[in-house]
Structure 1
Amino acid sequence: MGIRALVVGGTAGIGYAIANRIASEASSSVIISGRTKPSSLPHSNMEFRALDASSMRAIKQYTDQYKAAQEPKIDLLVMSQGIFTMAGRTETPEGIDNKMALHFYGKQLLIRELAPVLKEDAKVLIVLDATRGSSSKLNWDDLDLKNTFSLGRAADHCISMTDAMVQVHAAKLQPAEPSTSHRYFFHAYPGFVSTGLVKNLPWYLKPLAKGAEAVLAVSPESCADHLVKGVTAASEKDARVWNSIDDKGRIVPNKEVWSEENLKKVEEHTWKIIDDALATK
């Protein structure tokens, strides 16, 4: 039986490969969303819907429209949107760093707003980096890095706060009792994937990066296969409703289970930043 999937960031790279893999089953239906429509939609059961995933207001409008249309509920929500940039803090009109808006805040808003249309056994997959997150890497006095931004800190904060929010969503967005179904939330590390991002590097780094990509990188299709299989296997065999998976689709061992206090801090911060952005005129 086919599934209903929404892939945000599905217009290129890993997200596009995941969308195509799911759409290869004729009974499935796949919506891919991002800024720019792909040049090709290879399957008739695929459709494109534009979304600026760096804008909280655009995400809210997008999700409101989906819910109002009473469309089929979602079996699989995939979020792989992101940006590769060497620029410093670059704020959106809503006051959020663009990189953090794409890599973290927008993904959390999508989950919150689409929760009512997730099936009771839905799976949610965030593609970022499930291997390096830790509560010890956060600057708890400046979680959105308004005052202490660096590219390294932005990566640490987006990755680590994603780990936290996956645990928050898994605890709070389960079906009401006495349902026996469970929603599963995953943070995934894709590994080194040949997505063409090296073209965005400074000229002096491109030769080395291209050489490494040629030798070490896997194709987006191979990555998509590993991640989809990993999500399926973990949700069928592992009792936990949240997990981190690596580039081979394996469960990452010894992941930190965050304290209730730290989970609350990240959750409250996340919704404050997002709701303040939504209220921006």
Structure 2
Amino acid sequence: MAVRALVVGGTNGIGYAMACRIASEAKSSVIISGRTKPQSIPHPNIEFRPLDASSMQQIKQYANAFKQSAQQQQLDLLIMTQGIMTMAGRTETPEGIDRKMAVHYYGKQLLIRELLPALKDDAKVVIVFDGKYGNPDKLNWDDLDLKRNFSLGNAANHCMIMNDAMIQWWAAQQRQQGIHHTRHFVHAYPGGVKTGILRDLPWYLRAPAWALGSLIAVSPETCANNLLNGVSKSAAEGNDHGRFWSNIDNKGRLIGNKAIWTEEQMQRIAEHTWKLVDGR
């Protein structure tokens, strides 16, 4: 089946493998976006569009241009795999957001919001970060963007948990608005994958990280195959039961023990998110 996809973070690693897997299917077309164009684009139906996914302003400009150019070709898949591996402390973008949190959470949610009009009624939206291990009990409700309580662990957990909450929020919005859409929102856990992201680690951590990765990590191609199959299966099963969000693991299996967020909790996280990304 012909698929039109946008893969943000698709210039390397998991995103690149997912983009190539989709592009290998007849009549499909894929747009990949990231900071730097890949040296090799193996399929003629892959197009590159640059994007700094840590900048909320750039995301808005990118999305506006995308919607203007894609009015007749809406998306079947919006996939966001952008990530950053760093041991640095809080490092703010010019917009006052920690760069790691901007890439792993705020930019992903802004892309969904801004590109929603460009999605087909039955499109699938996929966040690849960590839909498995977040701890809701450790969410700091009074400091969601961690201006005062930043640590690497807190930042990772907040991004995991807020992405979890927001896929449920998007599904709830779809239902509450009475729109006859069956868009499905997925937060995926990729597990250990042999990607170039380890190059961003301090030099003294690269060797042990590579050694551990060689034992437990899979190739980006294997990960891409597992996640894409899991997205299709979880969306079909969820839609059959009126559930338009899913968390999946690195094998593409549904994670069934996720916390269910209340309407008040989801709305509080959404309002915080929009206030921050819009600079209000």
TM-score over 0.5 for the pair: yes
Q: Distance in 2 between matches of 1:3 and 1:194?
A: 27
Tell me the equivalent position of 2:166: 165
Distance 2:88 2:2 in 1: 41
The AA in structure 1 aligned to 2:135 is S
Pick which of 85-94 and 204-213 moved more.
204-213
Structure 2 gaps, min length 5: none
CA drift of 1:135 comes to: 2.5
Counterpart-to-counterpart distance in 2, 1:83 and 1:164: 21
- The answer to whether the Cα contact below 8 Å between 1:174 and 1:183 also exists between their aligned partners in 2 is no
| Correspondences of 1:251-262 after superposition (within 5 Å) | 251-262=254-265
1:8 and 1:33 in contact (8 A); partners too: yes
Q: Give the aligned partner of residue 80 of structure 2.
A: 79
Distance 1:60 1:184 in 2: 22
Query: In terms of mean alpha carbon deviation, does 163-172 or 6-15 score higher?
Result: 163-172
User: Would the alpha carbon gap of residues 178 and 64 (structure 1) be closer, same or farther in structure 2, given more than 3 Å must change?
Assistant: closer
Alignment match, 2:185: 185
- Alignment check: 8 A CA contact 1:134 1:256 kept: no
User: Which residue is equivalent to 1:233?
Assistant: 233
**Equivalent pair of 1:175/1:183 in contact (CA under 8 Å):** no
Distance 2:160 2:207 in 1: 28
CA distance in 2 between counterparts of 1:9 and 1:167 reads 23
Show the counterpart of 1:134.
135
Offset at residue 206 of structure 1 (A): 2.3
Q: Distance in 1 between matches of 2:110 and 2:179?
A: 27
Cα displacement string for residues 164-217 of structure 1 (whole angstroms, at most 9, x for unaligned residues): 1111111214697573x5000000000000002222222322222111111111
Deviations 1:221-280 (A, max 9, x none): 00000000000011112322100000000000211101122111111110110111xx7x
What is the alpha-carbon distance in structure 1 between the residues aligned to residue 171 and residue 209 of structure 2?
A: 37
Q: Which amino acid aligns with 2:234?
A: A
Query: 2: distance between equivalents of 1:266 and 1:39?
Result: 39
Partner of 1:111: 112
Matched, 1:197 2:197: yes
AA at the equivalent of 1:171: A
2:152, 2:47 → 1: CA distance?
A: 34
Alpha carbon RMSD of aligned pairs, Å?
1.5
What CA distance in whole angstroms lies between the structure 2 residues aligned with 1:186 and 1:155? 18
**1:150 equivalent in structure 2:** 151
SS of the residue 1:190 aligns to: coil
Do the aligned partners of 1:8 and 1:15 also contact (CA within 8 Å) in 2?
yes
Residue pair 1:175, 1:182 contacting (<8 A) in 2 also: no
Q: Secondary structure at the match of 2:203?
A: coil
One-letter amino acid of the counterpart of residue 45, structure 1: N
What SS class does the counterpart of residue 166 from structure 1 fall into? helix
- Stretch deviating more after TM superposition (162-171 or 219-228): 162-171
The percentage of aligned residue pairs carrying the same residue is 60
Q: Does 1:96 align with 2:93?
A: no
- The one-letter code matched in structure 2 to 1:79 is M
CA distance in 2, matches of 1:145, 1:178: 35
Number of aligned residues: 276
* Residue 51 (structure 1) shift: 0.4
Q: List 4+ stretches of structure 1 deviating above 4 A.
A: 174-178
TM-score (norm 1): 0.95
CA spacing shift, 1:163–1:42, aligned 2, 3 Å:
same
Q: Displacement, 1:42? A: 0.5
Which amino acid in the other structure matches residue 172 of structure 2?
A
The one-letter amino acid of 1:24's match is: S
- Structure 2 residue aligned with 1:65: 65
Counterpart of 1:258 in structure 2: which amino acid?
W
